[in-house]
Structure 1
Amino acid sequence: MFDNGDSTQLIKILNELYPVEILTVQSVTNEMFRCTAKQDVYFVRVTNYKSYDEQLEEVTYTNFLHKEGLAVSLAISSLNRNVVEKITLGNKEMLTVLYKAAPGIHLPREQWNADVLKELGRQIGRLHRISREFEEMHPVKHINDWHDNEEYAFLKYIPEEETAIRKIAQDVLSTIKGLPKNSSNYGLLHGDLWLENILVDDDLKLTMVDFQDCEKNFYIFDLAVPIYSAIEYSFVGRGNIVDYGREITKAIIEGYQEEHELPADMLEQLTLFIRLKEVFEYSLMHMYWNKEKLTEEQIRIMNHFRMRIERNHSIIDM
């Protein structure tokens, strides 16, 4: 919990470290804070979720994307010329990154239509094209391949008695690990492009934020996640959800192909990667939720996922 004492201490630390004059700090999540300063609005990430080397490589990557013209949050260098700083907050050693606030808003759910998703596809295509350039110049040493991240240890968290889902999870993992990879279909990507990590301004300009879960994966995964997110969280009726799924999937793919190659054999695997995202979300429930104190809503959600996964029901109809 972030209390007033921590807030006062964090403001003092930030004002000593960075060329800003922070006035207030407000918690957004457990590790992201909105900072109001005389000069501008900033967001500061305070976490030890990943190592210093991992965070430094991540921020070097995102600042490269920004320099190349992609709409991402810019990390501000400290007075020590560091983009990642080590601090002590509440007697804990933490790492901090200060970002200039990105323009735009979280778009209301009913406005996530095909036009917006097509523009998102273009933006993701640009992201992957520039990511390839980054990897050619800066070989990645500390950011993991997707399957090395703890969140993909499905069999560690999905209970042993759930034999059907465990088999499906294992099949999904082994199938994707067995796909041939090369520089045209695999590389550094965002990894968590659900719609809350995208800001939209009045001119339909999109900004991608929160690259903390960036990883090396098949590029198609960065398309699977927003498609999954739009269908799962943003469809609010006013039509047929199957038609909506087809429409936004077509739009995001068309936008992507305007900016980056999407091999036909990988496009055929889109439903597989949406299934990876589903099993990922289900495993996270077991990873983070208290099994002894599940709410009725959590039980409902878990049962919904169980039925969908066990029945091999795809949320998109290609």
Structure 2
Amino acid sequence: MEPQVKALFNESMLEVAKTLYPMDEGSLKLLGGFESFVYEYTLNQQRYILKFTHSSHRTRDQIDSEFDFVNHLYQQGARVSKPVTTRHGNYTHRIPADMGYFTLSSTEKAAGIRTKDLLTNPTLIDNYGQTIGAFHRSTMTYQPSFNIDRRFTWYDDSLILDARKYLDDTDLFILGELNSVIEAIKQIPMSLDNYGLIHTDIHAGNFLVDQDQNLTVFDFDDCAYFYFLSDIAIAIFYTVFFNPNRHEVAKPFIKALLKGYMKQHTLKKSDFLRIELFFKLRTLILYLALKRSTQPTDPFTQKYNSIYLEDLKQHKPFLNLDYDMLYEEVQKESMV
């Protein structure tokens, strides 16, 4: 989180939250947060999440549109954290700050625990794919509710629009790479079954898993109109990106993930063969996010840059795989 935003937050905002959301006395506690202040609270033994998001990151209208979409998924039976309204029946509440404002929002806390075995749990991988596929099937029927603004398109995200200000002379080439991959993705034909409003960030940090290996997904902060393939690419990217043998472990994971996905939604071969574009976009976006929100000495940032900055300069693919053959294998094995 940017230092100037941290400086705007104060304890009085917590008191506002306590008046808007019923909660057990003394239950409010800070969890952290990368782009928002995230708290947990309880009410009658039920756990909830509370977020304070500064307007420099997301406007109130954008968060209202996020919650409208999440509520649609919830009503469709998707496994998501249910939005919680204020005492006044609103998804959000605006709290003025010395610069801009904070938007207050809340959801039920997802049930389950974080997973540590995504590469070794076939049932979980299948459910992971099915969860993403079910989201994509559900989004095909989504229309914003009355008085809800349409959510932004992927290339209008503030991190992309403001990319130049996070770069300096040592990494300015990132801007050229970013513009190139954006233009390539924009050329992909759009259809109802490959493009719509999606999560855009479904990695293991944004879902919990229950004892039956079912996922509950949360944090739709980055949801945007984008190609469905992006969600699949994100799932793969974050599962293997720090694995020293990522090229080897990725193939069986991708096959299992796609088999699950295709139980819920179609995936055309012509779309899947473009997945390296989405891997590259995510590599660049994460670089920018870390440059914006962390210090150069941050261990995660140092590790990420040591692996991927040189790969970007040399235009190396994220994975050395034959995607055509991989897709055909999934198709054949799914028919058995």
Same-fold call, TM cutoff 0.5: yes
Q: For the Cα contact (< 8 Å) 1:46–1:96, is it kept in 2?
A: yes
Q: In 2, Cα distance between the equivalents of 1:138 and 1:255? A: 34
**Residue 24 of structure 1: SS of its match in structure 2?**
coil
Q: In 2, Cα distance between the equivalents of 1:287 and 1:90? A: 22
Which AA in structure 2 matches 1:180? P
1:304 has 2:307 as partner: yes
**Residue 313 of structure 1: SS of its match in structure 2?**
coil
**What per-residue deviation string (whole Å, max 9, x for no partner) do you get for residues 53-112 of structure 1?**
111111111112112111111111222111212235899842111211110111125665
Q: For the Cα contact (< 8 Å) 2:13–2:95, is it kept in 1?
A: no
Change (3 A) 1:111 1:23: farther
Partner of 1:52: 60
Match of 1:191 among 161, 183, 200: 200
Deviation at 1:260, TM superposition (A): 0.9
Q: In 1, Cα distance between the equivalents of 2:167 and 2:306? A: 13
Change (3 A) 1:26 1:257: same
Change (3 A) 1:169 1:92: closer
Q: In 2, Cα distance between the equivalents of 1:296 and 1:75? A: 34
Deviation at 1:270, TM superposition (A): 1.0
Partner of 2:48: 42
Match of 1:23 among 21, 26, 33: 26
**Residue 180 of structure 2: SS of its match in structure 1?**
helix
Partner of 1:172: 181
Which AA in structure 1 matches 2:53? T
Match of 2:275 among 256, 266, 270: 270
**What per-residue deviation string (whole Å, max 9, x for no partner) do you get for residues 145-174 of structure 1?**
110112124445343454654443322111
* Aligned ranges 1:240-255 → 2 under 5 Å: 241-255=246-260
Q: In 2, Cα distance between the equivalents of 1:141 and 1:225? A: 26
* Aligned ranges 1:169-248 → 2 under 5 Å: 169-233=178-242, 235=243, 241-248=246-253
Q: In 2, Cα distance between the equivalents of 1:260 and 1:57? A: 24
Partner of 1:105: 113
Partner of 1:123: 131
| TM-score for the superposition, normalised by structure 2 | 0.82
Change (3 A) 1:140 1:25: closer
RMSD: 3.0
Deviation at 1:285, TM superposition (A): 2.9
Q: For the Cα contact (< 8 Å) 1:20–1:39, is it kept in 2?
A: no
**What per-residue deviation string (whole Å, max 9, x for no partner) do you get for residues 110-134 of structure 1?**
6654432221111001101111111
**Residue 23 of structure 1: SS of its match in structure 2?**
coil
Partner of 1:14: 17
**Residue 257 of structure 2: SS of its match in structure 1?**
helix
Deviation at 1:138, TM superposition (A): 7.2
Q: In 1, Cα distance between the equivalents of 2:150 and 2:250? A: 36
Match of 1:256 among 231, 255, 261: 261
| TM-score for the superposition, normalised by structure 1 | 0.86
Q: In 1, Cα distance between the equivalents of 2:101 and 2:175? A: 37
Q: In 1, Cα distance between the equivalents of 2:120 and 2:96? A: 41
Q: In 1, Cα distance between the equivalents of 2:156 and 2:100? A: 27
Change (3 A) 1:14 1:263: same
After TM superposition, the structure 1 stretch with the greater mean CA deviation from structure 2, 62-71 or 158-167, is 158-167
**Residue 200 of structure 2: SS of its match in structure 1?**
coil
Q: For the Cα contact (< 8 Å) 2:50–2:105, is it kept in 1?
A: yes
Partner of 1:96: 104
Q: In 2, Cα distance between the equivalents of 1:253 and 1:138? A: 35
1:151 has 2:159 as partner: yes
Deviation at 1:183, TM superposition (A): 1.7
What is the aligned-residue identity percentage?
21
**What per-residue deviation string (whole Å, max 9, x for no partner) do you get for residues 209-234 of structure 1?**
1001111111100010110000024x
> What is the number of equivalent residue pairs in this alignment?
310
Partner of 1:282: 287
Question: Structure 2: 5+ residue runs without aligned partners?
Answer: 1-5, 324-336
Change (3 A) 1:164 1:41: closer
After TM superposition, the structure 1 stretch with the greater mean CA deviation from structure 2, 144-153 or 80-89, is 80-89
Which AA in structure 1 matches 2:309? R
Which AA in structure 1 matches 2:126? K
